A and B are shown apart, each in its own frame.
Chain A
Amino acid sequence: MNVHPAIAALRGTTVSQRQAVAATKAAMEQAHQHWLERPDICQFRDELSRYGSGAELEACGALKSLIHDHERAACFVEALIDAALDALRTHRLGETPYRFKVSQGLATLRLLEASDATLSLTAYEPLESVQPPTSALFSDRETHEIVVSGTASGVVHTLSEAGATTSRPIALTQGDCLATRACIGARHILHVERTLLLLQLAREPQRPKPVREIALDTGVERRTASGDKSASQAVMALSVLGALKEYGALDVMHQTALNRDEDPDVRWEAVRQMLGLGAMRGLDTLETLAGREHDVLSVPALALRDRLLSTRPDLRALWKESA
């Protein structure tokens, strides 16, 4: 079997492996840092931060120009690729430190992010038999995209105030710009003739509204999901803490449950996990919530407390004792 020398070099002891990997990582990070510190990139990061915090795109000149002017976009992408290739020529097993996602026919790199706004590079490759969609996901995300290269066709969907969807076909070619409005716009790429490379600017509010799946023919809402990634992460974290029997987390769960500024699903999950970890403490928290004014959880808390006390005589006995 032929083993490439660069890989063979990694087959030493664990220590030499770690050293080799660390050296490669350091070099890739350094190259990335150089790119980040370029004056033009610094300006984009600045404006991205302002855009993400709510500034109008009009007020972010360099960013606006980048996402509307093909020459600017192409130069930007070329410079980025050149910088990455330079590093990769020396460190062939290196990884460029961008968050990425790869799936069939699709690859996306997150280049820059600042306060709820992101700049990404996405490539759509030709795929056989992409079926026309029967529904579209409308998310609380505003995007501006420019075609850096390639040719493709797709559909743009708009949700009217009345809840009806209209769709129109679009043809995309080098230099074309596409804007998708939050909650009421969606788009599908259907047919790619030559690999489509898009530079995408996107922003979301701090607490995004739910993502909605809408059927395209009827306008009927099929499903919704949380639009707030950090809230869903918190829900998952709470379940994990509960499953691991982390009694030390009870205080934090209690605070989370009572925090009116927190996402209701997160708060409720904290209550559930508290009940699983310590029934009495959980009931205490339920009791506090049930008695509160102007709290979205007071009604469900009261209902759950009553249900638990009526279906569990053992709980009821202990609860009465402690009252």
Chain B
Amino acid sequence: MNTPNIDVASLPGLESAQGLFGSLAQVSKGYGDEVVEIMVYVYDVLPPETLI
């Protein structure tokens, strides 16, 4: 097929686009309690049951 390729990286995001959830990494040197849910990315996709 002759369909031309478009490089996704060259396509703009929305002007209103925000950082991904959890991307505001620990903003202060201290307890990493500011982003509460970041750890559950892995478990949501790959629950512990499936690790065996």
Task: Report which A residues bind B (CB closer than 8 A).
Answer: 18, 21-22, 25, 95, 97, 99-101, 103-106, 108, 110, 122, 124, 127, 129-137, 141, 188-190, 202, 210-211, 213, 223-229, 231-233, 235-236, 242, 264-265, 268, 272-273, 275-276, 278-280, 282, 297, 300, 304, 308, 312, 314-315, 318
On whether the beta carbons of B48 and A97 are closer than 8 Å, the reply is yes
- Whether A225 contacts B22 by the Cβ 8 Å rule is yes
Across the interface, A101 reaches (CB within 8 A) one of B7, B11, B38, namely B38
Knowing A127-B31, A228-B21, A276-B6, the reply to whether A268 touches B48 (Cβ < 8 A) is no
**Can you list, as one digit per residue, whether each of B1-36 has a CB less than 8 Å from chain A (1) or not (0)?**
011111110011111111111111001111111111
Q: Which residues of A contact B46 (CB under 8 A)?
A: none
* Residues of chain B whose beta carbon lies under 8 Å from any beta carbon of chain A: 2-8, 11-24, 27-41, 43-44, 48-49, 52
- Assembly CA distance A315 to B30 (angstroms): 52
A213–B28 alpha-carbon span in the complex (Å):
11
Q: Which residues of B contact A231 (CB under 8 A)?
A: 21
CB-based contact B31/A106 at 8 Å: yes
The complex places the Cα of A232 from the Cα of B33 at a distance, in Å, of 20
> CB-CB < 8 A to A224: which residues of B?
18-19, 24
Residues of B within 8 A of A210 (CB): 18
- B39/A99 in contact, CB under 8 A: yes
Most buried by A among B6, B15, B39, B49: B6
The answer to whether B36 touches A108 (Cβ under 8 A) is yes
Contact (Cβ within 8 A) A213 B33 = no
**Residues on the B chain within 8 Å of A211, using CB:** 21, 24, 35
Q: List 21 A-B contacts (CB under 8 A).
A: A95-B48, A99-B40, A103-B32, A108-B33, A124-B31, A127-B31, A137-B34, A141-B36, A213-B27, A224-B19, A225-B21, A225-B22, A235-B20, A236-B20, A268-B13, A272-B11, A275-B8, A276-B7, A276-B11, A308-B6, A312-B4
Write the chain B residue with the least CB distance to A316. Answer: B4
Please tell me if the beta carbons of A137 and B8 are within 8 angstroms of each other in the complex: no
Q: Check if B33 sits within 8 Å of A223, measured CB to CB.
A: no
* A242, B8: Cβ atoms closer than 8 Å: yes
CB distance from A245 to the nearest CB of B (A): 11
Q: Nearest chain-A residue to B40 (Cβ)?
A: A99
For chain A, what secondary structure do more than half of its interface residues adopt (helix, strand, loop), or is it mixed?
Answer: mixed
Judge whether A202 and B19 touch: CB under 8 Å.
no
**CB proximity of A175 to chain B, nearest CB, Å:** 21
Contact of B29 among A100, A131, A300, A308 (CB under 8 A): A131
What residues of chain A lie closer than 8 Å to B15, measured between beta carbons? 300
Q: Shortest distance in angstroms between A159's beta carbon and chain B's nearest beta carbon?
A: 15
Structural contact, A122 and B33, CB atoms closer than 8 A: yes
A227–B6 contact, CB under 8 A? no
CB nearest to A307 among chain B residues: B12
**A279 in contact with B3 (CB, 8 Å):** yes
Q: Are A275 and B6 in contact (CB under 8 A)?
A: yes
Of the candidates B14, B16, B22, which one forms a contact with A229 in the assembled complex, judged by CB atoms under 8 Å apart? B22
Asked if B13 and A225 make an inter-chain contact with CB atoms under 8 angstroms apart, the answer reads: no
Task: Verify A188–B40 contact, CB threshold 8 A.
Answer: no
The 9 closest A-B CB pairs, nearest first, are: A133-B28, A276-B8, A225-B19, A232-B21, A101-B39, A130-B30, A103-B32, A232-B20, A314-B4
The answer to whether B11 touches A304 (Cβ under 8 A) is yes
A279 to B5, CA, bound (A): 7
| Chain A positions within 8 Å of B49 at CB level | 25
